[in-house]
Amino acid sequence: MSASSPFAIPASGQLILALSKGRIFDDTLPLLAAAGIVVTEDPETSRKLILATNDPNVRVIIVRASDVPTYVQYGAADFGVAGKDVLMEHGGEGLYQPIDLKIAACRMSVAVNAGFDYDSAVRQGARLRVATKFVQTAREHFAAKGVHVDLIKLYGSMELAPLVGLSDAIVDVVSTGNTLRANNLVEVETIMQISSRLIVNQAALKLKRERLQPILDAFERASSAIP
Ligand code: PRT
Ligand code: MG
């Protein structure tokens, strides 16, 4: 394998940024531009998982949103961008989280079928079945409220669960609320506001500080301009 192979393990001067396709990739592009970095391939049209940039020392890898913290934790990527929802589930081990980038904003909420009286069920101490991808966050939320729940782990399309009787409630991220409305679901509780964070591998932060710091500074400046 030649030194220029895109599959080579990153040399110490090389930086690898882990992003997920879609809103995180799209919202990170302006922050990269502020650091003078332009991704020269489009993940929506290219099948490549390692994308070049105008800087030969910076490459972007495309992974599932929930896998970004794992790549950064193990140092396969030096830094990455991940939602607070994803970071809460991961736990944050091995990760330094210097900047709230304020991108991909949404909220984590509890939602139920329009006809379901959530407040009464909670008051009466009913045991609720809750379907979610975010089991850690949901467990902590309901434990803090003293509500007994049976958590059902799903990997997507949480909105379907109450419609077909799989659960009484869901915990999911909501942005416009259109998906909930389209499925006759009602948001009954906001658990927390969510945005995406820059995450950095703790060893890379020490060993590659000279190369990383200017990028972190540019991200910080660009994201503080986001209201
Ligand atoms: O899609 P995949 O299963 O690979 O993973 P993912 O859904 O975690 O990734 P992605 O790229 O969809 O989201 C990445 C991050 O964006 C999440 O971790 C959140 O932090 C953030 N984000 C912001 C959102 C939304 N807004 C959002 N609306 N993530 C998901 N959604 C979903 C929402 O759950 C609903 O089902 O989009 C749907 C539409 O939302 P409404 O409310 O606008 O209708
Ligand atoms: Mg998605």
pLDDT of residue 4: 47
Neighbouring residues of 40: CB distance < 8 A, sequence distance ≥ 6:
51, 52, 53, 54
Report which of residues 11 and 103 the model is more confident about. 103
Round the average pLDDT of the chain to a whole number and report it. Answer: 94
Atom of ligand 1 nearest to the CA of 155: 3
pLDDT tens-digit readout, 123-139: 999 999 999 999 999 99
Q: CA 100 to CA 137: how far, in whole Å? A: 19
- Fold match between 15-105+194-225 and 106-193? yes
Q: Which CATH superfamily is domain 15-105+194-225 in?
A: Periplasmic binding protein-like II (3.40.190.10)
Question: For residue 183, which ligand has an atom nearest its CA?
Answer: 1
Quickly count: other Cβ atoms within 10 Å of residue 124's Cβ.
8
Q: CA 196 to CA 189: how far, in whole Å? A: 21
Among 3.30.70.141, 3.40.190.10, 3.30.930.10, 3.10.105.10, name the CATH number for the domain at 106-193.
3.40.190.10
pLDDT tens-digit readout, 27-60: 999 999 999 999 999 999 999 999 999 999 999 9
pLDDT tens-digit readout, 154-210: 999 999 999 999 999 999 999 999 999 999 999 999 999 999 999 999 999 999 999
pLDDT of residue 1: 40
Neighbouring residues of 33: CB distance < 8 A, sequence distance ≥ 6:
none
- DSSP lists the bridge partners of residue 8 as none
Q: Which residue from 193, 134, 184 is spatially nearest to 163, judged by alpha carbons?
A: 184
CB of residue 17 inside a 6 A radius of ligand 1: no
Degrees to nearest 5, angle at CA 58 with 54 and 61: 105
Q: How far is the CA of 3 from the centre of ligand 2 (A)?
A: 35
Domain boundaries, the chain: 15-105+194-225, 106-193
Contact 107, 174 (CB under 8 A): yes
Q: Which residue from 85, 108, 77, 100 is spatially nearest to 27, judged by alpha carbons?
A: 100
